[in-house]
């Protein structure tokens, strides 16, 4: 039985502000001031980091997002065009990585990062937990360094059997060294409303522009830290300028309030760290350690470790693109990898081939061969740059096209490696 999830956020239409200097609506972005985003910009913009936003998709041609979007996937329609018909995903994307300094709209936390849109929610803002789990796995196998989950449920998912698949997918992502950031939820309950909370996942609560916990934000057990989410003060004369303005569907901008808006601030700062060579749980630990303390001294139930602080997070790590940062004065190269889904839809394979993400330690030509029943059924090759993730595609041979379903072994040869990397997959 498929259980539906719904977005937990408050929607407020922002008034159109007068055009200003560089990005006209920067003056409305109290949220970026709160986390000292400008103070991190001189160190890194997040270049080289990939942030997967698992949500309602994206308007890829939005003027403030065009050119920022990398490869994504639509789990709802099972295709490679995750078009946003709701607006929520586009809003979250803009907080993470809207183009900065282009004289249009808003700025963002990590304007140099690549955004990976993964659509798991329909145009009504609802979706299935199965699609969410598949979306997390897609991000893991396609080169994401950070996963953002601005998703909520009508009831908390913690302990619910239906949430087991999502919980397992989150744990796989964490084990793969991915920073997983999730919204705490908007029910105001004393527990993070996410699976795997407290086991490496960064659960994010919301604060308003006065650094007070937003009334709707869940808190307490499992909370990692907080970020700007707005006040949600609709209808009492405090709506304009109280919430988080960002990109929205229809090439527009809106103010929204919710922990859905808080989470991408943390995901964006995580991308800044990734670009400097600090990844996985090391990044999660640094985000908590450098947060601005709020409330009672030290970690507390209302604010967790405190308010995420971009400037403090990157301080002392040095500039440069991903893999060029230093930690303790030693350069940390990026490890080669091969990431591929275990199961592939036959229809998608016939149309797009068998796709995987690879990273090599040396420049050169990456090659892939897919063997089923002792015969080659797909192959492919492409040139890759050292320490840069790339998509490698194996196209079906004539024999492969004649096979409706099959189990196969994928053999990938990466430049600089003596032995091929082998994975088992199933196409059906």
73-74/114-119 β-pairing: parallel
Map tokens 């985003």 to a residue: 37
CA–CA separation, 392 and 398 (whole Å): 19
Is the separation of the CB atoms in 84 and 115 below 8 Å? Answer: no
Give the per-residue pLDDT at 312. 96
CA–CA separation, 72 and 55 (whole Å): 11
Helix or strand holding residue 92 (H, E): helix 88-97
The CA-based dihedral angle spanning residues 181, 184, 185, 191, taken in that order and rounded to the nearest 10 degrees: 150
Q: Express each pLDDT in 182-200 by its tens digit.
A: 999 999 999 998 867 667 9
DSSP string over 376-410: EEEEEEEEE-BT--EEEEEEE-HHHHH-SSEEEEE
Q: Express each pLDDT in 20-64 by its tens digit.
A: 347 999 999 999 999 999 999 999 999 999 999 999 999 999 999
Task: Of 291, 246, 297, give the one whose Cα is nearest residue 34.
Answer: 291
Give the per-residue pLDDT at 161. 43
Cα 94 versus chain centre, distance: 12
Give the per-residue pLDDT at 234. 58
Task: Of 227, 201, 202, give the one whose Cα is nearest residue 214.
Answer: 227
Is the separation of the CB atoms in 54 and 74 below 8 Å? Answer: no
Give the per-residue pLDDT at 233. 74
Helix axes 129-141, 164-175, angle to 10 degrees: 10
> For 4-327, CATH number?
3.40.50.200
For 162, which DSSP code? Answer: G
Contacts of 413 (CB under 8 A, 6+ apart): 366, 367, 368, 420, 421
Alpha helices, H only, 301-345: 310-314
C-alpha distances in Å from residue 139, one per residue of 20, 73, 174: 37, 9, 12
Give the per-residue pLDDT at 15. 33
CA–CA separation, 410 and 405 (whole Å): 15
Record the pTM.
0.72
Fold of 337-427: Immunoglobulin-like (2.60.40)
CA–CA separation, 255 and 242 (whole Å): 8
CA Rg value for the chain: 21
Give the per-residue pLDDT at 230. 95
Tell me the average confidence (pLDDT) per consecutive run of 10 residues in the chain, 428 residues long.
43 35 88 97 94 97 95 94 96 97 95 96 90 95 96 46 78 94 94 78 96 95 96 61 95 95 98 95 96 94 97 82 37 70 93 92 89 95 84 95 94 89 94
Map tokens 């889904």 to a residue: 341
CA–CA separation, 82 and 148 (whole Å): 16
Equal CATH topology for 4-327 and 337-427: no
Map tokens 């003060």 to a residue: 233
Helix axes 259-275, 280-289, angle to 10 degrees: 120
Question: Which residues are annotated as catalytic?
Answer: 55, 88, 260
In this structure, what are the phi and psi dihedrals at residue 181, rounded to the nearest 5 degrees? -115, 135
Structure tokens at 338: 């091969």
Q: Which residues of 172-207 are buried (b: 16+ CB within 10 A; e: fewer)?
A: ebbebbbbbbbbbbbbebebbbbbbbeebbbbbbbb
Give the per-residue pLDDT at 134. 95
Is the separation of the CB atoms in 261 and 242 below 8 Å? Answer: no
Give the per-residue pLDDT at 163. 58
CA–CA separation, 232 and 228 (whole Å): 12
CA–CA separation, 75 and 72 (whole Å): 10
End-to-end CA distance of the chain: give it in Å, rounded.
22
Beta bridge partners of 75: none
List the chain domain ranges.
Answer: 4-327, 337-427
């Amino acid at each position: 039985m498929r259980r539906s999830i719904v977005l937990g956020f408050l929607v407020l239409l922002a008034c159109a502000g007068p055009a200003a200097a560089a990005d006209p609506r920067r003056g409305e972005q109290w949220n970026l001031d709160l986390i000292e985003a400008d103070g991190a910009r001189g160190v890194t913009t997040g270049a080289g980091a990939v942030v997967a936003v698992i949500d309602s998709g994206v308007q890829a041609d939005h003027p403030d997002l065009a050119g920022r979007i990398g490869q994504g996937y639509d789990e709802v329609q099972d295709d490679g065009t995750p078009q946003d018909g709701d607006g929520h995903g586009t809003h979250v994307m803009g907080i993470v990585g809207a183009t900065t300094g282009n004289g249009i709209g808003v700025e963002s936390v990590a304007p140099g990062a690549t955004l990976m849109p993964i659509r798991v929610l329909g145009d009504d803002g609802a979706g299935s937990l199965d699609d969410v789990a598949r979306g997390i796995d897609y991000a893991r196998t396609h080169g994401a360094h950070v996963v953002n989950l601005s998703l909520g449920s009508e009831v908390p998912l913690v302990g619910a059997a239906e949430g087991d698949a999502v919980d397992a997918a989150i744990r796989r992502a964490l084990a793969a060294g991915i920073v997983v950031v999730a919204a705490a939820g908007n029910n105001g309950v004393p527990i993070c409303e996410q699976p795997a909370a407290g086991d490496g996942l960064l659960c994010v609560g919301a604060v308003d522009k006065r650094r007070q916990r937003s009334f709707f934000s869940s808190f307490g057990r499992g909370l990692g830290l907080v970020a700007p989410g707005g006040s949600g003060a609709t209808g009492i004369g405090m709506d304009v300028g109280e919430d988080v303005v960002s990109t929205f569907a229809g090439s527009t901008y809106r103010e929204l309030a919710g922990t859905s808006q808080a989470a991408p601030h943390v995901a964006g700062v995580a991308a800044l760290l990734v670009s400097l060579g600090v990844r996985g749980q090391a990044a999660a630990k640094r985000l908590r350690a450098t947060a601005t303390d709020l409330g009672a001294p030290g970690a507390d139930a209302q604010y967790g470790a405190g308010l995420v602080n971009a400037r403090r997070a990157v301080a002392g790590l040095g500039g440069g693109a991903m893999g060029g940062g230093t930690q303790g004065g030693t350069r940390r190269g990026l490890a080669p990898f091969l990431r591929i889904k275990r199961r592939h839809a036959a229809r998608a394979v016939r149309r797009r081939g068998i796709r995987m993400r690879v990273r090599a330690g040396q420049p050169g030509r990456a090659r892939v061969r897919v063997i089923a029943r002792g015969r080659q059924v797909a192959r492919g090759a492409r040139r890759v740059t050292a320490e840069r993730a790339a998509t490698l595609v194996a196209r079906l041979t004539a024999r492969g096209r004649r096979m409706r379903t099959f189990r196969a072994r994928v053999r990938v040869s990466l430049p600089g490696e003596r032995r091929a990397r082998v994975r088992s997959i199933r196409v059906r």
